[in-house]
Amino acid sequence: MSRRLHLICLRAPWPDDTGGARDMLDRLKVLHQAGILIQLHFFTEGNTEKAIQALQPFCEKVWAYPKKLSLRNLWKGQPYILACRASDTILSRLSADEDPILFDGIHTTEHVHSLPMTGRKMVVRMHNDEVRYYRELARSTRNPLKRFYFFWEATRINRWMKKLPRGLSLGSIQQQEQVTLQATYPHVETFLLPPVIPSNVFSQTGTGGYCLYHGDLSVPANERAAIWLLKRVFAKLKLPLVIAGKSPSAKLEQLVHFYQHACLVANPTRSELIDLIGKAQINVLPSRTRSGIKLKIFDALQYGRHCVINSEMSASSPWTDSCDVVTDATEMAEAIQTNFVKPFTQQMVEKRQDRLLYWKARLDPVAELIKRLW
**Domain match, 47 and 124 both:** yes
How large is the average pLDDT for residues 335-351?
97
Between CA 63 and CA 193 the distance in angstroms is: 25
For residue 353, pLDDT beyond 70:
yes
CB 131 within 8 A of CB 177: no
205 in a structural domain? no
**Domain match, 12 and 124 both:** yes
pLDDT tens digits for 319-332?
888 999 999 999 99
91 in a structural domain? yes
For the four alpha carbons of 8, 63, 218 and 83, in that order, the dihedral sign comes to negative
Number of domains into which the chain is organized: 2
* pLDDT (0 to 100) of residue 220: 84
CATH number of the domain within which 166 lies? 3.40.50
* pLDDT (0 to 100) of residue 361: 87
How large is the average pLDDT for residues 85-107?
96
For residue 1, pLDDT beyond 70:
no
* pLDDT (0 to 100) of residue 316: 61
**Domain match, 280 and 352 both:** yes
| Residue bearing the bigger pLDDT, 2 or 296 | 296
CB 315 within 8 A of CB 290: yes
Q: What percent of the chain has pLDDT over 70?
A: 99
- Cα–Cα nearest to 106, from 161, 31, 33, 63: 161
**Domain match, 71 and 186 both:** yes
pLDDT tens digits for 239-270?
999 999 999 999 999 999 999 999 999 999 99
pTM, rounded to two decimals: 0.90
**Domain match, 184 and 247 both:** no
Q: Is 271 exposed, middle or buried (0-12, 13-18, 19+ CB in 10 A)?
A: exposed
Between CA 221 and CA 228 the distance in angstroms is: 10
206 in a structural domain? no
The H or E element that residue 6 is part of is strand 4-9
**Domain match, 169 and 59 both:** yes
273 in a structural domain? yes
Strand partners, 9: 42, 104
Between CA 35 and CA 257 the distance in angstroms is: 50
Query: DSSP state, 366?
Result: H
186 in a structural domain? yes
**Domain match, 160 and 230 both:** no
Per-residue pLDDT band at 182 (split at 50, 70, 90)? very high
Between CA 24 and CA 44 the distance in angstroms is: 14
pLDDT tens digits for 37-68?
999 999 998 878 999 999 999 999 999 999 98
**Domain match, 291 and 369 both:** no
Range of the domain at 121: 4-197+363-373
123 in a structural domain? yes
For residue 208, pLDDT beyond 90:
yes
**Domain match, 122 and 252 both:** no
For residue 158, pLDDT beyond 90:
yes
Q: Looking at 76-80, 93-97, 149-153, 237-241, which range is the least confident one?
A: 76-80
* pLDDT (0 to 100) of residue 176: 87
Average pLDDT, the chain: 92
203 in a structural domain? no
pLDDT tens digits for 2-20?
799 999 999 999 998 888 8
**Domain match, 239 and 309 both:** yes
* Helices of type H across the chain: 19-33, 49-55, 80-83, 88-95, 130-140, 144-162, 175-184, 220-228, 235-237, 250-258, 270-279, 296-303, 311-314, 329-340, 346-362, 365-373
45 in a structural domain? yes
Q: Looking at 45-54, 148-157, 297-306, which range is the least confident one?
A: 45-54
For residue 294, pLDDT beyond 90:
no
Identity of residue 110: E
**Domain match, 149 and 224 both:** no
CATH number of the domain within which 250 lies? 3.40.50.2000
What is the side-by-side strand order in the sheet with 169-172? 61-66, 37-44, 4-9, 101-104, 122-125, 169-172, 189-192
**Domain match, 168 and 231 both:** no
